Amino acid sequence: MQYKKGSDVLTYTVFYLLGIFVILFIIFPILRLITLPSFNLILEALKDRSVIISIWNSISLSFITAMFSLLFGVPLAFLMAKKKFSRFESLVETIVDLPLAIPHTVVGIALLFVIGREGVIGSLFYREFGFKITGTSIAIITAMLFVSLPYLIDNAREGFKNIDPDLEKVSTVLGASLFSTFARVNLPLSKQSIASGFLLTWARAISEFGAVVILAYYPMTAPVKIYDAFTQYNLAVSTAIAAVLLVICLSIFLVLRVVIHKK
């Protein structure tokens, strides 16, 4: 018994040390980035209208992306949780998670052949309406949605899976329709998983660079603006912009995390 207790203490000690290493590995570069640029340099960056616009573009377009992920992702997550694709279930799961495995520059090029001027959909819009999708907010949202949608679907699916099937059966026995059961039973009981998926989707979309920069260098999002500042000016300017974006994003997501976990 004494040997087991000593072994447990050693295991916990090793786990704590490894855990602390991971925490420091994540937090140290972030703290370094926030504290590195001078206050005057940050003020100068904030005086640049293009910086403010790029940050607003990232926050607003990524939020719209997350809303679209709710619209399209939640129904698919429900079907997957209820195994409605039968023998194609594994195939559907693989397809849904594909964006997580594909390099995002590859995603941008692939989407270019769909919504680009010579793409399947892009050429139709350009030919019929004279509208070029690339270089617009639509292209940015498309890129963001492609890379971030799996986070919403996977989280929502797990939420639906964890619901007691007996609750759904009771709802059906009482005469509720499928949609009524979905709206009154499934959604409320899985709202925290869906909210977490929404938050992860928003976070992933706001940080997207690789696919966005290929489809729409302009209008600039914050990651593209940081890259542009780094190549056009110097590391100090890009660091100041990155620090501002980081503080804004951390503030938003910390507040939302607290709100979600309180519900």
The 3-class secondary structure across the chain, one letter per residue, is CHHHHHHHHHHHHHHHHHHHHHHHHHHHHHHHHHHCCCHHHHHHHHHCHHHHHHHHHHHHHHHHHHHHHHHHHHHHHHHHHCCCCHHHHHHHHHHHHHHHHCCHHHHHHHHHHHHCCCCCCHHHHHHHHCCCCCCCHHHHHHHHHHHHHHHHHHHHHHHHHCCCHHHHHHHHHCCCCHHHHHHHHHHHHCHHHHHHHHHHHHHHHHCCCHHHHHHCCCCCCHHHHHHHHHHHCCHHHHHHHHHHHHHHHHHHHHHHHHHHHHC
pLDDT digits (tens, 9 = 90+) for 7-45: 788 889 999 999 999 999 999 998 888 888 777 888 887
pLDDT tier for residue 83 given thresholds of 50, 70 and 90: very high
- At 145-185, the pLDDT tens digits run 999 999 999 999 999 999 998 888 888 888 889 899 999 99
pTM, rounded to two decimals: 0.89
Question: What is the reported pLDDT for 232?
Answer: 82
The pLDDT value recorded for residue 68 is: 97
